[in-house]
A and B are shown apart, each in its own frame.
Chain A
Amino acid sequence: MTLLDCRGVTKRFGGLVAVRDVSFAVGLGEIVALIGPNGAGKTTLFNCISGVYRLTAGTLRFDGRDLAALRRDRICRAGVGRTFQIPRPFLDLSALENVLLGAVFGKGGASLPHARAAAQEDLAFVGLDAKAEAPARSLTFQERRALEVARALATRPKLLLLDEVMAGLNPTEVAGLVRLVRRIRDERGVTVLWVEHVMRAVMDLAERIVVLHQGSVVADGPPPAVVRDPAVVEAYLGEKYVF
């Protein structure tokens, strides 16, 4: 069953076409990686799906609804959660309050007392339970990233958009996050669409890879086939990349 269906999605900034006629679908329960060189349009596509940008052309159907017609907060309540590439926590609020906001206003729509327990649970899920009362400002960069994930999970999304959550991590940390993303799908039943440059993690985790290059889809398929696709090697991975 298709959860997200992008058809001919195009986003133009003046003369620059950042996303050009992109069509692909994400099935319910899938973990799909979105890869491509810098400037390929990955984050722009995320911004289109979460309503930060309005589409220039094309349609975005999610769970039977037209996302392009919805306001950002309604897109969230329809079941789309996201993280930001550069974490954007509410710096003067505690980690718990950050997550609480998602729990209260997201698709879960819990009342405050219920949300508090759920938010604690989500913090524990990403391993931040010890930092619940700490102001987000005091968290390290990695902790802020985990907080982004917890805050997005707290909205109880059907589809989670993860934007480069593994960039700059060491191999142990990458392995930890790979396990976390898998648990998000397996334990929470959340479908994951995930922008990533860390190919090791992509190969470990993704069930399907969509490759963007200069705003267009150049490949879409199972990881082993995609990484051997000449167009992908040419555009992104380079000749030397061998598995």
Chain B
Amino acid sequence: MGAGAALAALAILPTLSSTYLATVVYQLFLFFIVAQSFDLVAGYMGYVNLGHYVFFGVGAYAFCIALVGNAPLVLAFAGAGLAALACALLLSYPLFRLRGDYFAFATLALLILFQILATNLEGLTGGSNGISLPPGYHLYAAYYLALAVAAACLVVVRGLMRLRIGLAFLGIREDEQAAEIFGVPLLAHKVLGLGVSGAFAGVAGGIQAWTLSYIDPPTVFGMDVALVPIAMALFGGSGTAAGPLVGVVALGLLEQGLWSRLRYLHVAVYGAILILVGLLMPGGIARSGPWRRLAALRAGAPAGSGRAATGGGA
């Protein structure tokens, strides 16, 4: 019920609002796709892929190369997802030989590696000159496409977590060796998780490239952009159903609000708020006391105020 209403509201938003607001919300969709697909692997499977954004970048490049090569738009978007998927499958072999912090740091290094590759493979990527696309995107088309992919990403992640695959992911997160001894084929599930995660990020990269009309290595592989969606997922609550969504909305709107009101201080205030929330709500907003009381209040609302009173008193 709530989800349907939210989807309807988002669907009619561009017709009612300013282009500015539609652009902001559109950007949130892209952040959400990257944050949620990151969290499938990090939050549920327990593999913190700090280099998740390379799939976004690979998707962006694949899209641009396809479009410049006169491929139809639909094929270019499909190519973005498939290129990222292929990349995820290839990277699975070396990456999943590592665990924990070692995995996280190896994936962080991927960002640097891919930026260097994109800069040096000039024949394919245009090197540091980047790739320019002929202008021709429509904001509303991009908006609805991003909305559809974001919704699909949410549905796929929630759906997977209801299947036996989801149970395997949780087992891998909790105790990989025990999970294997109780019958979970480890590598197949890890590869599947990273593949799905990578494909969504790749499509998001393609959409972003379409609206930017120009990409170069730092725009799609730079550390400054790459860690933002990850910060959002962690800020909202990694491994919770609502976490990435909450984090994207909270940080995305905060950033916009600060930027428009505090021109010179916005980065400092943004940083200070991040630190405060980190201190006061370790585990993210969706694991914090106030958020849980709110959720309990919503769940218990029809039954009366009894639970709310208990929650407030606790």
Q: Which residues on A are within 8 Å of B, measured CB to CB?
A: 50-52, 71-73, 75-77, 82, 84, 88, 90-93, 97, 100-102, 104-107, 111-112, 115, 151-152, 155
Contact = CB atoms under 8 A, between A and B. Distances in A.
Select the residue from A93, A105, A115 with max chain B CB neighbours within 10 A. Answer: A105
Nearest to A99: B182
Interface string B161-197: 0011001101101110111111111100000000000
Nearest to B239: A92
Contacts of A50: 181
Nearest to B166: A112
Contacts of A152: 182
Given A90-B175, A90-B178, A112-B164, A106 B183 contact: yes
B181 A101 contact: no
A97 B170 contact: yes
Contacts of A84: 178
Closest 8 CB pairs of A and B: A105-B183, A90-B174, A76-B183, A106-B183, A72-B180, A102-B182, A104-B164, A105-B184
Given A72-B181, A76-B181, A82-B181, A91 B186 contact: no
Interface residues of B, number: 19
Given A75-B181, A105-B182, 7 more contacts: A72-B177, A73-B183, A76-B182, A97-B167, A100-B167, A101-B167, A105-B185
A77 B164 contact: no
A101 B179 contact: yes
Contacts of B183: 73, 76-77, 102, 104-107, 155
A73 B186 contact: yes
A101 B177 contact: no
B174 A92 contact: yes
B129 to A, nearest CB: 48
Contacts of A71: 180, 185
Nearest to A148: B178
11 contacts: A71-B185, A72-B180, A72-B181, A97-B167, A101-B170, A101-B179, A105-B167, A105-B171, A105-B182, A105-B185, A112-B167
Contacts of B179: 90, 101, 105
A75 B182 CA distance: 9
A101 B182 CA distance: 7
Contact of A73 (B163, B173, B180): B180
Nearest to A156: B183
B138 to A, nearest CB: 43
A115 to B, nearest CB: 8
A76 B185 CA distance: 10
Contact of A88 (B173, B178, B184, B185): B178
A88 B175 contact: yes
Contacts of A76: 180-183
A85 B183 CA distance: 19
Given A73-B186, A88-B175, A90-B174, A104 B181 contact: no
Contact of A105 (B163, B164, B173, B174): B164
B185 A73 contact: yes
B72 to A, nearest CB: 40
B237 to A, nearest CB: 14
